[in-house]
Amino acid sequence: MKNSNLSERIEETFIENNNVPLSYNELVNELHLVRREKSLLAETLQAMIAEGILVKKNRKFRLALNPEQQKKETDEKVAHPRLLEGIFDATPLARDLSYAFVRTEQGDFYVNAEDTLNAYHNDVVLIEPHFRKGKPDYAIVRKIIKRANETMTGDIRESGSGTFFISINPKIHNWIEVSELNGAKEGDKVVLQVTNWGSPLMGKMPVGKVIEILGPSGDPDVELLAVIRQYNLPLQFPDIVLAEMEEIEETISDQEVAHRLDLRNILTFTIDPASAKDFDDAISVERINQGWRLYVHIADVAHYVKPESATFSEALKRGNSFYFPKKVIPMLPEKLSNKVCSLRPNEDKLAMSVITDFNQQGRIMRQRLEASVIRSDFRLNYNQVDELFEGKKTEFPLELTETLLSARKLSSLLTAKRLKEGYIFFDLPELEYEYDDEGFLKRFTLAEETESHKLIENFMLVANECIATKLSKLAPATIYRIHEDPDWEKIERLIELLSYYGISFYEKENLNASIQYLLHSLPTPEHHKVFEPIILRSMKKAKYSTEHIRHFGLGMETYTHFTSPIRRLCDLVIHHLSKTYILKNSKIQFDYSQLKYFASVASEQELQADQSERDIEHYFSMTYMKKFIGESFSGIVMSAKNDRLIIRLDQIPINAVLMVTEFPPGRWIFLDRQMRFINEDNRDYFQLMDKVMVNIMEVSDDIYLELKSGKESHRHFQFQPSNTNSYNNDKKIRKSRKGKNRFEVDYKFRDKNYGHSNERYRG
């Protein structure tokens, strides 16, 4: 619901700022909101977008433009009609290279360092583009439209020429001169506000002032706080949300039970990581008529979190939960996430239960959704269930043991069915991080997907697909989890690369089957280790959308997220839609523009969660690896870029880099399409799957290697190149057939230490 007073203030703010796009946090600062008002902002913005007052692009809001305003804004583009807007990518500059890129809707443009003005990573810029043969070539930055970061977190460093700030973001390619320390000293982690962006052409550095001291650099809690500040993540819930929590009853009334299907007397259990604290799904499995009845029970969060509440507005801002070492920033307050909605054992809970009947071949015969009340009997973890599946002795009661073994049989049938329908399974072990009591990284481990993970994944997929299919037929609009077709150009380039390394790509009935066969046919564990990530990178990433697009990786025509409403915004919205259009026991509705906005927020916040979690893992990984400087390791070449090889160390499962400057003497040429370096002087080469012996030379923003001396420092991978791309019956997959070769996917992953298998495509 729109707050009229706040809406007027928002409009006035944009008018006063010449309609410069502003992020949510920038609006909070500009409007000087009190805590009570902050909870209304997200909902008001959503309503203003729905009414056409505001538009949103690149996570920024601004007033929708009338023709006169549109003319004013495009004056500069009219003066130079070929100017394009884009996002500045400073990744190469941060690697001390003399160029950058600008990402635009027409493609990526190369920019010489001298033509970048004073742009920084992710700034919105206006460029003068140049094309070659109709494709983007190079560009000159003509104007900085909007800064990505007015504040940054980083370290204070003293040098002979002054005091400087170094951002924790490795893509901020310059040091920043500090004009006001405000009590900070060398070695402190701080928040800095940039007051002058400087001018490279004039030889002037950017300048900023310290606005917050976070603590000493190197302290695990301080480093974590720095990442949280960098991404502007909320650490506290507003008072109005906490006040709403006080009103929530922890007990379930008899009246509420009377309106629900009572499933408290059937055997029910949860399976999660041992460290999990919130349990938003439970399962029950019964044998019926030589088949099965599967119950997937999902916490009924929507019963407690209504769209008009401050709690829903806060969930909309957060989009999902964020998981860090020793720290969780939840989407919902703890009373809901860990208590009232968490399906803890031996407690009555409200649930939404997807009930599916299967025949003995694992074929779905009937499905329905019920509002239910359940009581979990057992809280199990993956390791316990895997021990049972491995034939080890457990202390499980006989009924639980028989139920788990029966569920295992059903899961195996579902796996076979998924593969037949086009599910693409990447057997990539997940890198897990184990921390000590002080918060420092203790070790890396590789976690293989086990039968218990597959069981839960299969059952959650059944529930998600069921709800998506029903809503696609009953609701005027909904949110889907989509994974779009791979770009054909990427597939062709992948086929070319594989062919060079002797790996044939065979045409099957569709692209899903072709990739399945390709993954299955990789001949050795080393091939799987090197080429599966490359194949995965040729895919797109999954996202949320109101468009009904097939999910490539899962091989599903219709898919959504329903099973994690405690920690994902999309699932909470889908629960409300399910109550209205499937159960028909609610009158809550969202229009198309609202759902489109929810999908956008959920996708953006998912990316932010991924990046912030990677950032903190990267910091602790680098800290951990510093103790190995000077030590020797063996490794395998995983990938190659124009200035480096990516090496996976054998003894510690982490990637490191061997820069071309550390290669043996010679004139090294990089062959991009083969991921291969050749020495023109003696025809020596480096390529994928080569084995190397290296020393760790330096650990800073990455792990830098040098080759060990001696003949055994480098062994070439031997293979038989394919003469051509191989296809069954000598038929080549043609781009014109892509309608028949239906591509779509949401690659499964294991949620680090907080959930179970799910789908998130990492193309």
Residues above pLDDT 70, as percent of the chain: 90
Q: Angle at the Cα of 261 (from 258 to 263), degrees rounded to 5?
A: 115
Confidence at residue 711, expressed as pLDDT on a 0 to 100 scale = 66
Quick one: average pLDDT of 600-607? 94
Confidence at residue 720, expressed as pLDDT on a 0 to 100 scale = 62
Q: Say whether pLDDT at 763 is over 50.
A: no
14-18, 630-634, 663-667: least confidently modelled range: 14-18
Domains and CATH numbers, the chain: 4-70 (1.10.10.10), 74-146 (2.40.50.140), 151-230 (2.40.50.640)
What is the C-alpha radius of gyration for the chain, rounded to an integer number of angstroms? Answer: 27
Tens of pLDDT, residue by residue over 491-509, are: 999 999 999 999 999 888 8
Instruction: Note the residue count of the chain.
Output: 763
Q: Say whether pLDDT at 482 is over 90.
A: yes
Tens of pLDDT, residue by residue over 539-552, are: 999 999 999 999 99
- Cβ atoms of 498 and 751 within 8 Å: the answer is no
* Helix/strand/coil percent split, the chain, to 5: 35, 30, 35
Quick one: average pLDDT of 506-516? 89
CA distance linking residue 143 with residue 70, whole number of Å: 18
Q: Say whether pLDDT at 573 is over 70.
A: yes
Q: Say whether pLDDT at 9 is over 70.
A: yes
Tens of pLDDT, residue by residue over 338-385, are: 999 999 999 999 999 999 999 999 999 999 999 999 999 999 999 999
Report strand pairing: 107-112 vs 99-104: antiparallel
Listing DSSP states for 91-116 in one string gives HHHHTT-SEEEEEETTEEEEEEGGGS
Confidence at residue 18, expressed as pLDDT on a 0 to 100 scale = 65
- Cβ atoms of 269 and 378 within 8 Å: the answer is yes
Q: Nearest 5°: phi and psi at 616? A: -70, -35
Confidence at residue 66, expressed as pLDDT on a 0 to 100 scale = 61
Q: Say whether pLDDT at 761 is over 50.
A: no
Tokens of 381: 């973890």
pLDDT band at 678 (very low <50, low <70, confident <90, very high): very high
Q: Say whether pLDDT at 187 is over 80.
A: yes
Coil/strand/helix, residue 207: strand
Confidence at residue 217, expressed as pLDDT on a 0 to 100 scale = 94
Coil/strand/helix, residue 742: coil
Tens of pLDDT, residue by residue over 64-123, are: 866 555 554 445 444 444 789 999 999 888 878 889 999 998 888 999 998 998 999 999
Tens of pLDDT, residue by residue over 195-216, are: 999 887 777 899 999 999 999 9
CA distance linking residue 440 with residue 459, whole number of Å: 36
Tokens of 517: 């066969």
Give the DSSP H/E element, type plus range, for residue 57: strand 54-57
CA distance linking residue 184 with residue 394, whole number of Å: 56
CA distance linking residue 394 with residue 386, whole number of Å: 10
Confidence at residue 78, expressed as pLDDT on a 0 to 100 scale = 44
pLDDT band at 490 (very low <50, low <70, confident <90, very high): very high
- If one counts every other C-beta atom within 10 angstroms of the C-beta of residue 286, the result is 15
Report strand pairing: 543-545 vs 714-715: unpaired
Tens of pLDDT, residue by residue over 699-722, are: 988 999 999 986 678 888 776 655
Residues above pLDDT 90, as percent of the chain: 70
CA distance linking residue 301 with residue 319, whole number of Å: 15
Confidence at residue 2, expressed as pLDDT on a 0 to 100 scale = 65
39-43, 90-94, 246-250, 442-446: least confidently modelled range: 39-43
CA distance linking residue 376 with residue 279, whole number of Å: 10
What residues does 647 pair with on adjacent strands? 637, 656
- Cβ atoms of 457 and 534 within 8 Å: the answer is no
- Give me the chain's average pLDDT, please: 88
Report strand pairing: 348-358 vs 188-196: unpaired
Report strand pairing: 632-641 vs 644-649: antiparallel
Tens of pLDDT, residue by residue over 289-324, are: 889 999 999 999 999 999 999 999 999 999 999 999
Regarding predicted confidence, which is higher, 738 or 123?
123
Tell which residue, 348, 386, 395, 375, has the closest CA to residue 268: 375
Quick one: average pLDDT of 14-35? 78
CA distance linking residue 520 with residue 361, whole number of Å: 24
Regarding predicted confidence, which is higher, 612 or 41?
612
- The torsion defined by the Cα of 460, 462, 464 and 466, in degrees rounded to 10, comes to -160
Tokens of 267: 């055997």
Write the DSSP symbol of residue 487.
P
| Inter-residue long-range contacts of 93-99, CB under 8 Å, 24+ positions, other chains counted | 93/173, 94/121, 94/170, 94/171, 94/172, 94/173, 94/701, 95/643, 97/643
CA distance linking residue 568 with residue 7, whole number of Å: 27
Confidence at residue 65, expressed as pLDDT on a 0 to 100 scale = 67
Q: Nearest 5°: phi and psi at 115? A: -110, 20
Q: Say whether pLDDT at 757 is over 80.
A: no
Tokens of 536: 């995965």
Quick one: average pLDDT of 515-532? 94
CA distance linking residue 628 with residue 235, whole number of Å: 35
Tokens of 653: 């499962």
Confidence at residue 340, expressed as pLDDT on a 0 to 100 scale = 98
- Sequence-ordered list of residues with C-beta below 8 angstroms from that of 613, at least 6 positions apart, any chain: 322, 323, 324, 752
